[in-house]
């Protein structure tokens, strides 16, 4: 019997096979660190007198606590500042490469790895962060770990793990214009639920996935964790190789050739069997948006808020009722009638250059809706520079939005970028939990295109609405779903 992509990558990293139900010892190719989940791991090493085994497979960046304005000033919040300073101290002491605030490679850890060419097919990637699943877009086995596991990897470059089950999520057909990777994954999570992927590695396949750019694939893999999965993966192909080749840490010359030869063997064999399979018709998908307080509580933008009474499961019903109360929304309200106070364009889900281009392509030449707060936060310092070289910053500030420095920002509000109590936000991030973006804040998860249209109209909207009203010169057909060709190139 053939093997799946996930099984191939796994098998090639087993250092010691676990006998009778014991975990395998798995080798880790790349360990990413940030300031929040690493301090106690380093402290543990220090207490035990252990070194970092492979500093050359380890890299750190500052993202969760970093400010997005006045980045040259001292961080006011004491906890944030301590975490940042501790990371700097630890990296210096243990010889770990760090990209601190102000550095050209600083940014959200899941944007930085791929951008440097460190994330590649067929490798294992871990980080003390649940959205490590992002890196699976390259055909890597990438998953989040806890702080004691961070210490374990620092000390041994391995992890004892039991194999995951595999689930195929096959998305066939052509996406309609204006429908993006974000809409695919929001629709998938709404369908299988926030626990639907538990214990699984999800492999996204099918023609719709194949036609996505690396950015789009990263958006999808990023949110695998929101379906409860350990990891998400996409088989590597020419799009992967084209994205990777020439990046600072991508293999070169004969190494590149050897790598590609191996990577070409990774896609799931035709006769491999998945433990579970889901089929999605891409051509039916519309722009998708959440109404509740978990990423599975979503509907198409053209629909209305569901009535909790229609849920057969009493737990789902109670959760929906609680969510609507927190969100201050009534069942039956059309999603498009919902007015927002803020738009957040950023996070490791949607803050790469292509996301910013998509956002800019819609808002170009418009003014933001009155009274709206619109914040655009690039995923890394390099993305920020790239965007500025293309004039995207200008489009954003002309629109009346704020153009910030890189970091996690309002995705979780560990820095001062937070929603006020009661404020409602259309956000391109990945979690709409109660208080996630600030105490009492209300989050609707959306794609960059929906975020842009919403910022123009002030109510949850898609680019389709702009055309219908004749507001936008951009017809949705002109709005690329997944390519870079949207007219704001430098």
Partner 1 sequence: MEKITRITGIAVPMPRSNIDTDQIIPAVFLKRVTKTGFEDALFHAWRQEPDFVLNRAEYRNARILVAGPDFGTGSSREHAVWALRDFGFDVVLSPRFGDIFRGNSGKQGLLTGQISEADASQLWALMEAAPGIEATVDLVDRTATLGNLTVPFEIDDYTRWRLLEGLDDIGLTLRDEAKITQFEKTREAWRPRTLPAR
Q: Alpha helices, DSSP H only, in 165-313? A: 181-192, 207-210, 214-222, 238-244, 253-263
Q: Is residue 435 a contact point for partner 1 (CB under 8 A)?
A: no
CB of 92 to partner 1, least distance (A): 14
Minimum separation from the CB atom of position 145 to partner 1 (A):
12
Sign of CA dihedral 194, 198, 204, 206: negative
Segment contacting ligand SF4 (CB under 6 A): 83-91, 195-203, 233-241, 405-413? Answer: 405-413
- How many residues bind ligand SF4 (CB under 6 A)? The answer is 13
DSSP string, 408-431: SGGGTTSSS--PPTT-EEEESSS-
Pick between residue 151 and residue 183 the one whose CB is nearest to partner 1: 151
> Whose Cβ is closer to partner 1: residue 152's or residue 205's?
152
- Can you tell me which residue has the tokens 């190789």? 241
Residue 136 tokens, joined: 């699976």
DSSP assignment of 245-302 equals: TTSTTS--HHHHHHHHHHHTT-SPPTT---SEEEEEEGGG---EEE-SSSTT-EEETT
Return the residue of 329, 408, 419, 451 that touches ligand SF4, per CB under 6 A.
Answer: 408
Using CB under 8 A as the binding rule, the residues of this chain from 84 to 143 that contact partner 1 are: 86, 97, 117-120, 123
Q: Which of 3, 40, 199, 390 binds partner 1 (CB under 8 A)?
A: 40
Separation between Cα atoms, residue 457 and residue 470, nearest integer Å: 12
The number of helices, as runs of H, and strands, as runs of E, in the chain is 16, 19
Beta carbons of 345 and 360 less than 8 angstroms apart: no
Nearer to partner 1, 16 or 92 (CB): 16
Residue 76 in contact with partner 1, rule: CB under 8 A: no
Residue 48 binds partner 1 (CB under 8 A): yes
Q: Which 8-67 positions form the footprint of ligand SF4 (CB under 6 A)?
A: 63-64
Is 459 a binding residue for partner 1 by CB under 8 A? The answer is no
Cα distance between residue 429 and residue 222, in whole Å: 10
What does the block give as tokens for 298? Answer: 């979503």
Does residue 55 interact with partner 1 by CB under 8 A? yes
Q: Does 456 bind ligand SF4 (CB under 6 A)?
A: no
Q: Computed from CA positions of residues 16, 17, 19, 21, in that sequence, does the dihedral angle turn out positive or negative? A: positive
Pick the stretch among 26-34, 217-225, 374-382, 443-451 that binds partner 1 (CB under 8 A): 26-34
Q: Which residues bind partner 1 (CB under 8 A)?
A: 15-16, 25, 27, 29-30, 39-40, 43-44, 47-48, 50, 55-59, 79, 82-83, 86, 97, 117-120, 123, 147-148, 151-152, 155-158, 160, 248-249, 251, 255-256, 258-259, 262
């Amino acid at each position: 019997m053939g093997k799946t992509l996930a099984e191939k990558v796994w098998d090639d990293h087993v250092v010691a096979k676990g006998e009778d139900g014991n975990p395998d010892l798995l080798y880790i190719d790349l360990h990413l660190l940030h300031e929040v989940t690493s301090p106690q791991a380093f402290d543990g090493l220090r207490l035990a007198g252990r070194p970092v085994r492979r500093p050359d497979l380890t890299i750190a960046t500052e993202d969760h606590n970093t400010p997005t304005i006045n980045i040259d000033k001292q961080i006011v919040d004491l906890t944030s500042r301590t975490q940042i300073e501790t990371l700097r101290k630890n990296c210096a002491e243990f010889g770990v490469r760090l990209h601190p605030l102000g550095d050209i490679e600083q940014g959200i850890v899941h944007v930085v790895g791929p951008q440097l060419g460190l994330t590649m097919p067929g490798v294992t990637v871990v980080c003390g962060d649940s959205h490590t699943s992002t890196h699976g877009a390259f055909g890597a086995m990438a998953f989040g770990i806890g702080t004691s596991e961070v210490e374990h990897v620092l000390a041994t470059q391995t992890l004892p793990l039991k194999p995951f089950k595999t689930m195929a999520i096959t998305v066939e057909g052509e996406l309609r214009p204006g429908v993006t990777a974000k809409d695919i994954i929001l629709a998938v999570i709404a369908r299988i639920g926030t626990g639907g992927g538990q214990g699984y590695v999800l492999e996204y396949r099918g023609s719709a996935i194949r036609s996505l750019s690396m950015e789009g694939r990263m958006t999808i893999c990023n949110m695998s964790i929101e379906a409860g999965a350990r990891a998400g993966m996409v088989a590597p192909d020419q799009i992967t190789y084209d994205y990777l080749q020439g990046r600072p840490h991508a293999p070169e010359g004969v190494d590149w050739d050897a790598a590609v030869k191996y990577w070409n063997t990774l896609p799931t064999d035709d006769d491999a069997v998945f433990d579970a399979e889901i089929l999605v018709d891409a051509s039916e998908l519309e722009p998708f948006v959440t109404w509740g307080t978990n990423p599975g509580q979503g509907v198409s933008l053209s629909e209305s808020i569901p009535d909790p009474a229609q849920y057969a499961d009493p737990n789902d019903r109670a959760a929906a009722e609680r969510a609507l109360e927190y969100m201050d929304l009534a069942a039956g309200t059309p999603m498009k009638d919902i007015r927002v106070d803020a738009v957040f364009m950023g996070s490791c889900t949607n803050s790469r250059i292509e996301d910013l281009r998509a956002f800019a392509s819609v808002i170009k030449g418009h003014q933001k809706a009155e009274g709206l707060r619109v914040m655009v936060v690039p995923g890394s310092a390099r993305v920020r520079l790239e965007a500025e070289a293309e004039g995207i910053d200008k489009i954003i500030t002309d629109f009346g939005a704020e153009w910030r420095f890189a970091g996690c920002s309002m995705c979780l509000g560990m820095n001062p970028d937070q929603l006020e109590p009661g404020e409602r936000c259309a956000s391109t991030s990945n979690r709409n939990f109660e208080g996630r973006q600030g105490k009492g804040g209300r989050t609707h998860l959306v794609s960059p295109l929906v975020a842009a249209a919403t910022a123009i109209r002030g109510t949850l909207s898609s680019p389709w609405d702009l055309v219908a009203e004749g507001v936008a010169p951009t017809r949705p057909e002109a709005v690329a779903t997944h390519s870079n060709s949207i007219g704001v190139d430098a």
